[in-house]
């Protein structure tokens, strides 16, 4: 049984999809949750109110563009003031803007790397002092199999997700002496808004040994394990959760 009582988790991009599932799973294990999102106030409030009511935990929403360094700093200051500290950071916020390299706009490369990769750096920096003070912490970065194998049409996204893997290992090494673990999750195809326009599902299923797309809850279960003390000896690791797709 995973136990996150008396822990405060900051989860970016938690207004829907994988982030919302992680917030719910953490709350079901007893954690208080800070739900960060970019713009959809209504969706974030819906996630917050459902979680708070169902699990009787403290849950608050914060509008925060993770690509903006000072916004991340201010938001974490608000979380610390509201919750008394931060114990777990999940860097989940992410976007895609797919195109082949020869047609990809420079602005689309920058937008994706700024949100996906720089966003993780911004949030690790903003939460780092909390972890150092407590001499304990968990950082979980959501990468992708796209960052492991590279996918055509995703020069920006694959690069950002590969960068997250390197950043995870750097943070694992730099924070290890403070008893802070940092790991990455590399999902395959998970059923969310991000993948709803992928096209013919049958084609994807052919390449997935387990013959199904993943559910946000599959990723949330793994994130909860990495947040829990039962994974305290795992750091700098990248765990694929893809039905066997990228093996």
9 belongs to the binding site for ligand NAP (CB under 6 A): no
Q: Which residues contact 98 (CB under 8 A, 6 or more apart)?
A: 153, 154, 157
Contact with ligand NAP (CB under 6 A) among 4, 11, 12, 124? 12
Q: Report the alpha-carbon distance of residue 217 to residue 19 in Å, rounded.
A: 10
190 belongs to the binding site for ligand NAP (CB under 6 A): yes
Work out how close the CB of 184 gets to ligand NAP at its nearest, in angstroms, rounded to a whole number: 10
Work out how close the CB of 75 gets to ligand NAP at its nearest, in angstroms, rounded to a whole number: 10
**Centroid of chain to Cα 126:** 15
Whichever of 10 and 66 has its CB closer to ligand NAP, that residue is 66
Asked if 157 is an active-site residue, the reply is yes
18 belongs to the binding site for ligand NAP (CB under 6 A): yes
Work out how close the CB of 96 gets to ligand NAP at its nearest, in angstroms, rounded to a whole number: 7
15 belongs to the binding site for ligand NAP (CB under 6 A): yes
Work out how close the CB of 233 gets to ligand NAP at its nearest, in angstroms, rounded to a whole number: 25
Q: Which of residues 158-187 bind ligand NAP (CB under 6 A)?
A: 187
Contact 219, 24 (CB under 8 A): no
Work out how close the CB of 170 gets to ligand NAP at its nearest, in angstroms, rounded to a whole number: 19
Backbone angles phi, psi at 13, to 5 degrees: 60, 45
Contact with ligand NAP (CB under 6 A) among 4, 7, 10, 13? 13
Cα angle 217, 3, 27; round to 5: 50
79 belongs to the binding site for ligand NAP (CB under 6 A): no
Q: In what order do the strands lie in the sheet with 8-11?
A: 59-63, 32-37, 8-11, 88-91, 137-142, 180-187, 238-241
Collapsing DSSP states into helix, strand and coil, what is residue 47?
helix
| CB-CB neighbours of 41 under 10 Å | 11
199 belongs to the binding site for ligand NAP (CB under 6 A): no
Q: Which of residues 85-114 bind ligand NAP (CB under 6 A)?
A: 92-95
195 belongs to the binding site for ligand NAP (CB under 6 A): yes
Q: Report the alpha-carbon distance of residue 217 to residue 192 in Å, rounded.
A: 11
Q: Report the alpha-carbon distance of residue 146 to residue 71 in Å, rounded.
A: 28
47 belongs to the binding site for ligand NAP (CB under 6 A): no
Q: Which residues are catalytic?
A: 157
Residues of the shown chain interacting with ligand NAP in the complex, contacts defined by CB under 6 A: 12-13, 15-19, 37-40, 43, 64-67, 92-95, 115, 142, 144, 187, 189-190, 192-195
């Amino acid at each position: 049984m995973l136990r996150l009582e008396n822990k405060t988790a900051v989860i970016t991009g938690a207004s829907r999809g994988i982030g919302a599932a992680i917030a719910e799973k953490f709350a079901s294990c007893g954690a208080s949750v800070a739900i960060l999102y970019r713009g959809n106030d209504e969706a974030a409030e819906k996630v917050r109110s459902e979680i708070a009511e169902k699990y009787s935990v403290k849950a608050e929403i914060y509008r925060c563009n993770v690509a903006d360094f000072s916004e991340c700093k201010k938001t974490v200051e608000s979380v610390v003031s509201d919750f008394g500290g931060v114990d777990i950071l999940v860097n989940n916020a992410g976007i895609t803007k797919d195109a082949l390299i020869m047609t990809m706009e420079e602005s689309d490369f920058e937008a994706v790397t700024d949100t996906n990769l720089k966003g993780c750096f911004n949030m690790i920096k903003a939460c780092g002092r909390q972890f150092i003070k407590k001499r304990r912490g968990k950082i979980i970065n959501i990468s992708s199999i796209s960052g492991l194998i590279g996918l055509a049409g995703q020069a920006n996204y694959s690069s950002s997700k590969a960068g997250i893997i390197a950043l995870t290992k750097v943070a694992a090494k730099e924070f290890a002496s403070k008893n802070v673990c940092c790991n990455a999750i590399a999902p395959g195809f998970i059923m969310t808004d991000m993948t709803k326009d992928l096209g013919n599902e049958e084609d994807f299923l052919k390449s997935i040994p387990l013959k199904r797309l993943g559910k946000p809850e599959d990723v949330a279960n793994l994130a909860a394990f990495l947040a829990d003390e039962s994974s305290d000896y795992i750091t700098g690791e990248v765990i694929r959760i893809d039905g066997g797709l990228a093996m």
